[in-house]
Amino acid sequence: MGFLKYILRNVSRNKLRSLLTALSVGICLAMMTVLYGFITLNDALIPELAAANRMIVMSRDGFTSSIPITVLDHVKRLDGVQSVVPLTWYLGVYRDEKMPSFAQLATDPKELLKVWFEFRLDPDQLQAWQDDRTGCIVDRRNAARYDWNVGDSIRLKGNNYSVDLELTVRGIYDGPEFINDLYFHWEYLDQELRSRNDPKAGTASILFVRAKSEKVMDQLCEQVDQRYENSDHPTLTQSHQAFAQMFTKFAGNLQVYIRNIGLAVVFSLTLVAGNAMAMSMRERTTEIALLKAIGFSRGLVLIMVLGESMAISLLGGVFGVGTGRVVWSTVHYFWPTFVPMDFIAPVVLVSGVAVAAGVGLVSGILPAVRASRLSVIDGLRRVV
């Protein structure tokens, strides 16, 4: 115990130096925590998605193309399909906003909650939504953000579609954290499009399918795609998690760059910490010689120096990862479009602290070995 105390005393001896080193490690790690939180966010959700047996049917040409609604009738009749809904991204602009800030999806109110079975919606509100052709349901967090209550009207300006919508909030649902969409009647949008002779009438962006069990999913995907292989509108059917993975891929090389920058940062932090430790040791040469003279073994001196170096880096690491986490939540609160979820994968946080410990260990090795090898006579004689 006394030994640990000795190490901590040494840490706080040159307070300014320890603080600067810890802050250097901390600030860089805070930044890396946020960046890694960002690039791992999508992947972190994937295991969660896998449990629900959901699949997505989209055009082979990509999800910005659409598929005819007739595909839905076909998919619905397939064995192993529990329920299926159309989803059309309306991408409208709310009020005076310049760009769409939340997703609005045209869907089938009768079936939606069978596919998104996690949604919690009051049965009366569900009924009210189903009965109102221009009704919609909104996510609770968005409702709070825009101050929407049941009965309020929401006016959306068509951006992707030539139709403007006037919707009435009929229900407020609680969904998984990564969902903040507004859902409204596909029929309503389609009728408006039809009356304008819009070529997009009679189509959906994607179909969202819930399979009866995990086992039938692969087969179902194949079945759907084979059916439309040689049609005018070939489809691409994949599991919800594969669909989500596609979004991770969008970032392209950016991910690789961020990882490489992370490596460079870890390396330079090791140099920062090593430099500070080496300076401390140089100043304490006489003292270490004295310790050895009174009987401290080489191993003990080694551990002492390594312990000090690790303690400083760990201090910085814990501070940095903590700061990064707080920054993440703050950004999520103020700009939910950048940081859609108040969640960083625990593995990112743990790695951050582990990296700090590693930096402390590696940076301490050279000064520690030097100190342990120091000849008592030379050390005592040397005037620093």
Partner 1 sequence: MIPVKYNLRSLRIRWVTTLLTALFTGLLVCASVFVFGLVDGLMNAFNVSSDELKLIVLRNGATEEIGSQIDGARARELGSVLESEGIATDSKGRVMSSPEQLTILTKPRRGDTIAVNLGVRGVSDMGPSLRPGFEIVKGRMFEPGKYEAITSPSIAERFQNCGLGEELTINNRPFRIVGLFKASGSVAESEVWTPVADLQAARKTPNFITSVVMMARDEAAKQRLIARIEDDEQFGLEVKDEKEYFQEQVKAVAVIRGIGYGLAMFLSIGAMFGAANTMYAAVAGRAREIGTLRALGFSRFSVLMSFLFESIALCLLGGIVGCLGTLPFNGMSSGTSISFNEVTFSFNFGPRVLLQGALLALTLGLLGGLFPAIRAVRMNIVRALREV
Name every residue whose Cβ is closer than 8 Å to that of residue 293 and which is 6 or more positions away in sequence: 376, 380
Compute the residue count for the chain.
Answer: 384
Phi and psi at residue 70, in whole multiples of 5°? Answer: -60, -25
| Residue 83 beta carbon to partner 1: minimum distance, rounded to whole angstroms | 25
Q: Compute the least distance from the CB of residue 250 to partner 1, in Å.
A: 4
Percentage helix, strand, coil for the chain under 3-state DSSP, each rounded to 5: 55, 15, 30
d(CA 131, CA 348): 46
- The answer to whether 79 touches 86, Cβ cutoff 8 Å, is no
Nearer to partner 1, 162 or 297 (CB): 162
The residue written with tokens 């001196």 in the block is 301
Kindly state the smallest distance separating residue 235's Cβ from partner 1, in Å: 11
DSSP code of residue 120: B
**Residue 57 corresponds to which tokens in the numbers above?**
């049917």
Min CB(191)–partner 1 separation in Å:
18
In this complex, which beta carbon is closest to partner 1, that of residue 117 or of residue 257?
Answer: 257
Smallest distance from partner 1 to CB 292, Å: 22
Nearer to partner 1, 66 or 351 (CB): 66
- How far apart are the C-alpha atoms of 276 and 123, rounded to whole Å? 64
Q: How far is the CB of 216 from partner 1 (least distance, A)?
A: 22
| Residue with smaller CB distance to partner 1, 59 or 83 | 59
Nearer to partner 1, 149 or 253 (CB): 253
Of 193, 205, 234, 199, nearest in space to 61 by CA = 234
First to last CA, the chain: 31
* C-beta of 47 vs 123, nearer to partner 1: 47
Question: Which is nearer to partner 1, 275 or 297 (by Cβ)?
Answer: 275
Instruction: Give the whole-angstrom CA distance, residue 59 versus residue 319.
Output: 47
CB of 370 to partner 1, least distance (A): 11
Site residues, partner 1 (CB under 8 A)? 16-17, 20-21, 23-25, 27-28, 30-31, 35, 60-65, 91, 93, 98-99, 157-162, 164, 198-200, 230, 232-234, 236, 242, 245-246, 249-254, 257, 261, 264-265, 267-269, 271-272, 274-276, 278-279, 283, 338, 383-384
Q: Which amino acid would we find at residue 67?
A: I
Closer of 29 and 172 to partner 1 (Cβ): 29
Give the Å distances, CA to CA, from 33 to 25, 316, 321, 349.
12, 13, 6, 7
- Residue 296 to residue 281: CA distance in whole angstroms: 16
CB of 130 to partner 1, least distance (A): 29
State the sign of the Cα–Cα–Cα–Cα dihedral 287, 290, 291, 297.
positive
